[in-house]
Amino acid sequence: MGEEDPDGNGDGPAADEEELIWTCTSEGSSTTISIQGIAPVVNDTTDGIYMEGRPSEGTGANMGRLNRDEAQVAYTQNFDAARVTNEMEPFHDLDFELNEVMHWLTTPWLFITTDEDLESVADIEPDHRVSATQTGAGTRDNLEHALDYVVDDYDDVSVDFTDQSGPFQEGTLDVGVVPIMNFEVEGAYAEEQKSIVDLHVLEWPDDPVAELEDDPMVEMMEIDASELEGYASVPDDQPMMTPGNAYNFVTRNDVDYDVLYDTLHAMWDHRDEYGDIHDLMTYHEDPEMWTDWSYPDVPYHPAAADFLEDIGAWDGAEGGRADE
- How do residues 151-203 score in pLDDT, each as one tens digit? 999 999 999 998 999 999 999 999 999 999 999 989 888 999 999 999 999 99
Q: Same domain, yes or no, for 73 and 157?
A: no
Q: With contact defined as beta carbons under 8 Å apart, do 157 and 171 qualify?
A: no
Confidence at residue 30, expressed as pLDDT on a 0 to 100 scale? 85
Rounded Cα gap, residues 56 and 136, in angstroms: 9
Give a yes or no: residue 7 inside a domain.
Answer: no
Q: Same domain, yes or no, for 60 and 209?
A: no
CATH code at position 165: 3.40.190.10
Confidence at residue 181, expressed as pLDDT on a 0 to 100 scale? 92
Q: Which of 200, 216, 245 is the last residue of a domain?
A: 245
Give a yes or no: residue 238 inside a domain.
Answer: yes
Tell me the C-alpha to C-alpha distance, in Å, between residue 183 and each of 107, 148, 228, 244, 268: 6, 24, 10, 10, 23
Q: Same domain, yes or no, for 175 and 192?
A: yes
- Residue 5 pLDDT greater than 60, yes or no: no
Burial class (CB in 10 A: 0-12, 13-18, 19+), 123: middle
- Residue 20 pLDDT greater than 70, yes or no: yes
- Residue 3 pLDDT greater than 70, yes or no: no
Nearest one of 63, 53, 87, 59 to 247, comparing CA atoms: 59
Element (H, E) at 178: strand 175-179
Q: What is the mean pLDDT of residues 239-261?
A: 97
Q: Same domain, yes or no, for 230 and 294?
A: no
Q: Same domain, yes or no, for 85 and 127?
A: no
Q: What is the mean pLDDT of residues 136-161?
A: 92
Give a yes or no: residue 159 inside a domain.
Answer: yes
Q: Same domain, yes or no, for 155 and 115?
A: yes
Q: With contact defined as beta carbons under 8 Å apart, do 80 and 60 qualify?
A: yes
Q: Same domain, yes or no, for 83 and 197?
A: no
Q: How confident is the model at residue 8 (pLDDT cuts 50, 70, 90)?
A: low
Residue 111 CB contacts under 8 Å (≥ 6 apart), including other chains: 121, 132, 175, 176, 177, 201, 202, 242
Domain range for 201 is: 107-245
Mean pLDDT of the chain: 93
Q: What is the mean pLDDT of residues 122-151?
A: 93
Q: How confident is the model at residue 111 (pLDDT cuts 50, 70, 90)?
A: very high
Q: Same domain, yes or no, for 152 and 23?
A: no
Q: With contact defined as beta carbons under 8 Å apart, do 7 and 54 qualify?
A: yes
Give a yes or no: residue 322 inside a domain.
Answer: no
Domain count, the chain: 2
pLDDT tens track for 261-298 = 999 999 999 999 999 999 889 999 999 999 999 999 99
Secondary structure class of 48 (helix, strand, coil): coil
Q: What is the mean pLDDT of residues 107-133?
A: 97
Give a yes or no: residue 10 inside a domain.
Answer: no
Confidence at residue 187, expressed as pLDDT on a 0 to 100 scale? 84
Confidence at residue 10, expressed as pLDDT on a 0 to 100 scale? 58
Confidence at residue 29, expressed as pLDDT on a 0 to 100 scale? 83
- Residue 245 pLDDT greater than 80, yes or no: yes
